[in-house]
Structures are given as structure tokens and as C-alpha cells.
Amino acid sequence: MSSSHGPNYGEWVDWTGVIHFKEEHLWQNSTWTILQIDRPEPGTDITIDNFKIALPKESSYPNPNDVCGELVMNGDAEGNGFNPFPMERTDSKTKLDVLKDENNNNYFALKERTASWSSMQQDLDPNCMDVGVVYETSAKVRLHSEYDEKYYWYIGGIRSDGESFYRTILQCPPQKYEDGFVRCSGKFTVDKVLAEATDLFLRMRINGDRDKTVDIDYDDVSIQFSRGYINKFVVSKDDAVCWGEDSEIHVGTSLYYSWNSEVPNGFTSGISNVQYNNDGTMEFRLKDPPHIPVISFEDSNSMAAQVALISRNVKIAGDIDEVEDNKGKEGCVPKYLF
């Protein structure tokens, strides 16, 4: 505990931390271990109460039956008493506590922030980042500001080439202290950079115009699995009668931005397999999963993505009847006799 976080003489304070046992700490012939409180000035009396060393609760670790179902552990601050593990702070000058509200609900409180990027953070499992997989980010935040301030959540880490990167995954509308806890949520799709990263962490940043160093309260922080990557499209047979294997299609999506780059609003993939269904539809298997959001009719009738054929194989046949059958079909090149 730094001197800036210490209490006034005679006051109680919650003191918590994490002990990481390394291999060199666990000698086979060791019979005892000492834990001591060090550095108080001579003559200082120390009183300790409710002291314990315990393993973190199960909520601090992934569900072994669904490792990637939830990427943020102990996001509701209920798992480890007033210890925020596995949440950490990005800045050693800040103070991260677990507090209780009037309803006996635990939440994270980050105080004494020194910069807009001062945040709590948690490491994420890179093995859960497959290209095209969709996750939903959600969190409740209370900003201790009298002014409306915007903020965003982002994932940072180390790319496969060793360079660091940051990827915005959730932009949140402005809010102030009198709004109380406000939930902000949204979905993001894993791209190639996230999928190939070697280290990943989740953080939040205030990007408003005034109180960028205000205290922040967090609760119910979550990155939950929403949908696996898309590997096929189902379209009307009448609309795609001439689409076939090895053809290329382009799929559009809504244009969106990260804090430092613009992401293209579409992707192109080849067709690996075509299957005709009995309900008048066709299924197209994709060679490459999309790494950007794709909106379906189930998501939104008005914002559903459009699919365009950009290249196709042309079959040359030698049957007069086949020529006549295919002439006049919209979007299909007739097969001519040579």
C-alpha cells in the first residue's frame, strides 16, 4: 500500500492484495513460511483484524465446460470479498476497491485517477479469439462527473508480429454522476488481429471534454459469447440460380469505426459448396469466415446485409433444350451451343 493510499493514524482501512507463488517459493523441504508487515515508521502501532489468506473463488476462473462462454471473470465483484481479483488497475497511483451499495451489492470503485486512460483492466484468453466469432460486451458504469462524459471500452495487446495494438469494441453515450449506474452494451466481431494476438486485455477510457480523471465505478462487466463465425449463407434459389462452387461473393455490412482506424464495410469470400434445400432456398458454404459484423434479416429487416456475386464460372453446354431453358432467367448467363 502506497503512502497516498494509507489511512490516517488511528483509522481502519481495508488492505488486500494477491500473492503469486512461484516455483522457487515452493521448496520441498520447506516446513514454514513467514508473512510480515514491513516499512511502518518506528513507534507505529499496528492493529490487524479479520486477516486471512484464501484461494480465489470459482467465479475468478473460466467455466471448464464452457471456457469461452464468458471472458471476464468476477465481473460483478461478488466473488472475492473486497479483493478485486482478477481485476487490476493500469496505474499504480490509482486505488481499486470493492465497495457495497445500499442494497448490499458489490461494485468496483477506481479512485485517484491521473489520466483519461487510467482504468481497471483484466487479461483475456487469446485462445477464445477465432476470426468471425461474435461477442457481446456489457457493463454498468457510474462516472463521478457533474458533466456528461463519453467513454469507450477497448481490447489491447500484442500482435503476432510483436507490435502493440488497441481495438475499440464498445462506444458508450455521454453520462454524468446524477445518472447513476448506466448499462452500455454492444457486439463486436473478432478480426484477424485479435485472433492472432499473443496477449490481450480489456480496458476502458474516457474521451469526453472535461472531467477525464474523475472516479469511476464499475459493475457487471462482461464479454459473453454471442455467436460462432458464419460459414454459410441461405438465399432464395430464384435469386442465385447461377451461383456455384469457386464463385466469389461480396457481403456488405454497416460501416463502423475504431478510435484510430476505419474498417472496410464489406468482405469477399469464395464459395466452397452449394446445397439445394427443399424449401426453395440454397446454402452456400464459405471458404473464409467474415471478420466484420454481418446483419441478417433475423437481426434487422431494414439493415440486413446485401450479398453480391462478383465472379462466377460459366458452364458451356451442348444441349439445345438446355439453352432454351436458361434463356431469360434474370441474373444468369445463357448456356450457348458451340
Q: What percentage of the chain exceeds 90 in pLDDT?
A: 42
* pLDDT score of 284 more than 90: no
Which domains are delineated in the chain? 59-227 (2.60.120.260), 232-326 (2.40.30)
Q: How far is CA 159 from CA 126, 128, 176, 191, 192, in A?
A: 11, 15, 35, 12, 10
**pLDDT, tens digit (0-9, with 9 covering 90-100), for 291-327:** 666 777 777 777 777 777 787 765 555 555 544 444 4
Cell 439493415 locates to: 303
Average pLDDT value for residue range 155-171: 92
Q: Which of 208, 175, 1 is nearest to 96 (CA)?
A: 1
C-alpha cell at 36: 510480515
Provide the pLDDT for residue 32: 78
Of the two residues 302 and 45, the one the predictor is more confident about is: 45
Provide the pLDDT for residue 324: 44
Distance separating alpha carbons of residues 250 and 268, to the nearest angstrom: 4
Provide the pLDDT for residue 265: 66
The answer to whether 119 and 205 are in contact (CB under 8 A) is: yes
Provide the pLDDT for residue 254: 57
Name the most confidently modeled range: 20-24, 216-220, 283-287: 216-220
**pLDDT, tens digit (0-9, with 9 covering 90-100), for 74-128:** 999 999 999 999 999 998 889 999 999 989 999 999 999 988 889 999 999 999 9
Average pLDDT value for residue range 218-239: 87
How buried is 150 (Cβ within 10 angstroms: 0-12 exposed, 13-18 middle, 19+ buried)?
A: middle
- Indicate the range of 29-43, 211-225, 270-284 predicted with least confidence: 29-43
- Indicate the range of 125-134, 185-194, 240-249 predicted with least confidence: 240-249
Q: Output the pTM of the full model.
A: 0.76
CA angle centred on 299, ends 267 and 268, rounded to 5°: 10
Confidence of residue 263 (pLDDT cuts 50, 70, 90): low
- Indicate the range of 47-56, 149-158, 265-274, 326-335 predicted with least confidence: 326-335
C-alpha cell at 123: 487479461
